Amino acid sequence: MNEDWLRPEVTSQGAGAEAKARLIAAYGEPQRRYHDMTHIADGLAQLRAVEGLTDEERTWLAYAIWWHDAVYDPTRSDNEAQSAALARRDLALLGEPAQAIAEVARLIELTKGHQVEAGDRLGALLVSIDLSILGRDPAAYAAYASAVREEYGHVPDALFRPGRAAVLEHLLTARPLYPDEAYRHRFEAQARRNMAAERAALLA
């Protein structure tokens, strides 16, 4: 695979350089506090550590991580669909084959509901990488929750608190939360503790 896409600090060449520059600019938009380049770099670092992937699979996942939050407007509910559409356009310009483009778009759209079918290893990995912040140590989780609140600064507390609590309740009902087994063993228990504590504080 093109290793440039696994490392955000590496400068790509030609059309790839232009695409990466556009993405980096998008992730620097002022409304972003969590869904920014730090989130993307973290996801790529996790992907580099995953074993047992073909070059093709790793490429698809790298692209999905780069583009999955490329469109992010906290006032809209179609960010994933818009990000997938942008990936389709950009990857076509990069000359990627139709199979790759379709798979990357499919993976991106999974990040809306974070549910995958049994046997979908790539989907399970992308969803688990995307949700990994939920299972980090309490300080990292608190920083994430604070950043999300800033992204929804346009929403008053009276609406945000019950809305966020409902989102957390939905996540807490997922069995399992992490569809990838390795992520489940590493993060699931702590993620449930983190989310339960945040939800209790929101409803207090």
**Mean pLDDT of the region 198-202:** 98
pLDDT one-digit tens code per residue, 77-132: 999 999 999 999 999 999 999 999 999 999 999 999 999 999 999 999 999 999 99
pTM of the model: 0.95
pLDDT tier, 16 (very low <50, low <70, confident <90, very high otherwise): confident
pLDDT at 3 over 90: no
**Mean pLDDT of the region 3-31:** 87
Separation in Å, CA 100 to CA 58, 112, 134: 11, 20, 29
pLDDT one-digit tens code per residue, 49-88: 999 999 999 999 999 999 999 999 999 999 999 999 999 9
Average pLDDT, rounded, for the chain: 95
Separation in Å, CA 112 to CA 88, 92, 116, 131, 176: 17, 23, 11, 11, 16
